Amino acid sequence: MPQAANAELLPDPEIKAGGCVVRNQYGLIDQQLDSQIQRLVEQLR
C-alpha cells in the first residue's frame, strides 16, 4: 500500500476564491476557473 504524501496548504493572494493550484516535484495543476475556461477555449479552436 502506498504511503500517504505530506501536504502543506498555503494561502496565495494570486489564486481567486474557489480556485486550486497544486505544485509538486512533477509539475503544476491549475484548476482555477479562469484557467479551465482558457484551456476549453484553446481546445475549441
**What total of structural domains would you count in the chain?**
1
Residue type, 14: E
Residue 11, in any domain of the structure: no
pLDDT tier at 6, thresholds 50, 70, 90: confident
Calculate the alpha carbon distances from 43 to 13, 19, 40 in Å.
28, 21, 5
Query: What pLDDT is recorded for position 14?
Result: 92
Residue 36, in any domain of the structure: yes
Contact by Cβ (8 Å): 15, 30: no
* Domain that residue 24 falls in: 18-45
Calculate the alpha carbon distances from 7 to 18, 37, 39, 42, 44 in Å.
19, 27, 26, 31, 35
The answer, as to whether pTM is greater than 0.85, is: no
Residue 5, in any domain of the structure: no
Query: What pLDDT is recorded for position 41?
Result: 97
Residue 7, in any domain of the structure: no
What is the DSSP code (8-state) at residue 2?
P
pLDDT at position 27 over 90 = yes
